[in-house]
Chains A and B, each alone.
Chain A
Amino acid sequence: MISFLPLAGGAFLGWSLGGNDAPNVFGTAVASRIISFRKAALLCSAAIIAGAFLQGQAGLATLGDFVTRQNMTGLTIASIAAATTVTAMTLFRLPVSASQAIVGAISGISLATGTMEWSLLLKVVICWLATPLGAMIIACVVYKLLGFGISQVPMSILTRDKILWSGLLIFGVYGSYALGANNVANATGIFANGRIAGVTDQHLVLLGGVTMALGVITFSKRVMFTVGSGIMPLDAFTSLVAVAAMSFTLHIFAMIGVPVSTSQGIVGAIMGIGLMRGAQAMQFKTLGRIGIGWVLTPLVALILSAASWAIVTPILTPAS
């Protein structure tokens, strides 16, 4: 029973993360009606579980290091605060960063307890800034290379469609795999390194992967269309470029071991495409809303967790 509550917090976070971050992978293809939501959700869920189980350990270790000085009560509060923040942002149809939510929530607890790991926080924040920038650069390179490749081979417009359709499926699955590998740490990573008796890291990645998959199936439709068509209208080619760039970026960070945001990856990639195609097609109002969401997410999670800590700990601590 003691270990149930932290795990429930992790599961809640995993579910909200799946609902908010998975749309970044298949949102472009679903919004442009290239693949149905049902097919996308099933493919995405399976790949997330595989990614989390097979390559989710590295990010788990990083986040585990980040929280070594927190006790189980603080971590449980942090995971619930982060999940609540991401769920609220999803209800507002904003693609936000679960990494920012969880790090913001842990920072809230750390500030409240005076245990902040500033150097680790700095590393994570640098990666947050690098994610959209990296995705933007990778998107420009993929755009040029893929465009050159397609223009060099004489083909029917139907063959072109088939190539792009296959590419979107392959990169959608790859991106979902990378999402599972990279973001499972955000869901259950804070309980890693044997912090809960009888729960191994393998159990945690499996729990994180499965709950993320559930979030995809039950809660991801809201954000999907914001990503897929809200920032700029995407066709099959630009959808593929966006998903490929985001997947590469995410996988690179997964290998480094830093959990980053698919939201920042996909938005950065779409901005890269905007640079290549002309910025006039971009909906700056939507971008502005997304930017505000990115600033608010860690702040809201921080305030929520710090406030919850302030309320809960006096109740749990027996009066001397």
Chain B
Amino acid sequence: MIFVNKQKKVEGQLDLYRQTVSECYQGFLDAIMRYYQCGDREQLTDDYHKVHKLESRADDIRREIGVMLYSKSIFPESRGDILNLLEMMDKVPNQTESTLGMILTHHIKLPEELRTMIVELLRLGDLCIEALLESAGKLFSDFTSATVAIGKIDQLESDADVVEMNLIEKIFGSAIYSDMQKILLRDVVVNMAGITDKAENAGDRIRVIAAKRMI
């Protein structure tokens, strides 16, 4: 009974972590949409702080889970696997925060003519993170089916790569931006697409964790 309670606590914290990662990305998504709508830097600063808080909260929860895993009777192999996965998943909120931070600190204006493609890139990132969180959740409810959503992550990451390429081509093919703007916009796009890359890497880790436990 004691073991069950301890396990429930760890699983509860893992659920909270997944929820925080999801909220962090939603905060990032909302921030970009609002910035597109009104271009207000004050609003962007507020939104950045919200995302930053969520990213820090995700870090705190991850550290708490680490401590819990070391104090609970969990196999060293599983402990290592879970901590490693959390570290990889943590790169997703880090990337969202740093992308938003870049837009804010570099005073980057997101051009209207790129809006459809950027929104599409962010939508793919949203779906990708959703699939990642679903997979990670499955590890703690039905690990044999954890890999089902990984295929979805791979496909979404691949789609995001295509959008990223098209965006970069459009940016550098356009005559309306200065060279500096082109480089900055490219960096923003690469950072946005980097979110799906990080999700894919974490998905690969889940695949290995599940495969190790399949007979």
Is chain B a partner of chain A in the same complex?
yes
Q: How far is the CA of A164 from the CA of B212 in the complex (A)?
A: 14
How many whole Å from A225's CB to the nearest CB in chain B? 15
Mark each residue of chain A from 156 to 185: 1 if its CB lies under 8 Å from any CB of chain B, else 0.
111111101100000000000000000000
Enumerate B4-38 residues with CB–CB distance to A below 8 Å.
7, 10-11
Residues of chain A within 8 A (CB-CB) of B7 are 156, 158-159, 162
Enumerate A125-150 residues with CB–CB distance to B below 8 Å.
143, 146-148, 150
The interface size of chain B toward A, counting residues with CB under 8 Å, comes to: 24
Q: How far is the CA of A34 from the CA of B74 in the complex (A)?
A: 8
Enumerate A24-44 residues with CB–CB distance to B below 8 Å.
32-34
Contact B145 A157 (CB under 8 A): no
How many whole Å from B142's CB to the nearest CB in chain A? 4
User: Given A154-B141, A155-B142: A160 and B213 within 8 A (CB)?
Assistant: yes
One of B11, B75, B142, B209 near A34 (C-beta < 8 A): B75
Contact B78 A156 (CB under 8 A): no
Contact A158 B78 (CB under 8 A): yes
One of A33, A154, A237 near B145 (C-beta < 8 A): A154
User: Given A34-B75, A162-B3: A156 and B215 within 8 A (CB)?
Assistant: no
Q: Is the interface of A mostly helix, strand, loop or mixed?
A: helix
User: Given A157-B139, A157-B140, A157-B209: A151 and B77 within 8 A (CB)?
Assistant: no
Enumerate B66-104 residues with CB–CB distance to A below 8 Å.
73-78, 81-82
The interface size of chain A toward B, counting residues with CB under 8 Å, comes to: 23
Residues of chain B within 8 A (CB-CB) of A162 are 3, 7
B143 in the interface (beta carbon within 8 A): yes
Residues of chain B within 8 A (CB-CB) of A146 are 215
Q: Please name the residue on chain B nearest to A144 by beta carbon.
A: B215
Residues of chain A within 8 A (CB-CB) of B81 are 157
Residues of chain B within 8 A (CB-CB) of A159 are 7
B175 in the interface (beta carbon within 8 A): no
A117 in the interface (beta carbon within 8 A): no
Q: How far is the CA of A91 from the CA of B145 in the complex (A)?
A: 47
How many whole Å from B2's CB to the nearest CB in chain A? 11
How many whole Å from A76's CB to the nearest CB in chain B? 46
Enumerate B183-215 residues with CB–CB distance to A below 8 Å.
209, 212-215
Contact A236 B11 (CB under 8 A): no
Residues of chain B within 8 A (CB-CB) of A154 are 141-142, 144-145
Q: Is the interface of B mostly helix, strand, loop or mixed?
A: helix
Q: How far is the CA of A236 from the CA of B3 in the complex (A)?
A: 18
Mark each residue of chain B from 136 to 161: 1 if its CB lies under 8 Å from any CB of chain A, else 0.
00011111110000000000000000
A65 in the interface (beta carbon within 8 A): no
One of B78, B82, B214 near A151 (C-beta < 8 A): B214
Contact A156 B139 (CB under 8 A): yes
Residues of chain B within 8 A (CB-CB) of A165 are 73, 75
Contact A155 B143 (CB under 8 A): yes
Contact B140 A156 (CB under 8 A): yes
Residues of chain B within 8 A (CB-CB) of A33 are 75-76
Contact B215 A151 (CB under 8 A): yes
Q: How far is the CA of A236 from the CA of B74 in the complex (A)?
A: 11
Residues of chain B within 8 A (CB-CB) of A151 are 144, 214-215
Residues of chain A within 8 A (CB-CB) of B214 are 151
One of A32, A143, A148, A156 near B143 (C-beta < 8 A): A156
Q: Please name the residue on chain A nearest to B145 by beta carbon.
A: A154
Q: How far is the CA of A155 from the CA of B209 in the complex (A)?
A: 14
Contact B144 A32 (CB under 8 A): no
Residues in B lying within 8 Å of A, measured CB to CB: 3, 7, 10-11, 73-78, 81-82, 139-145, 209, 212-215
Q: What 8 pairs across the A-B complex have the smallest Cβ distances?
A: A147-B215, A154-B142, A156-B140, A33-B76, A157-B143, A161-B75, A158-B7, A161-B78
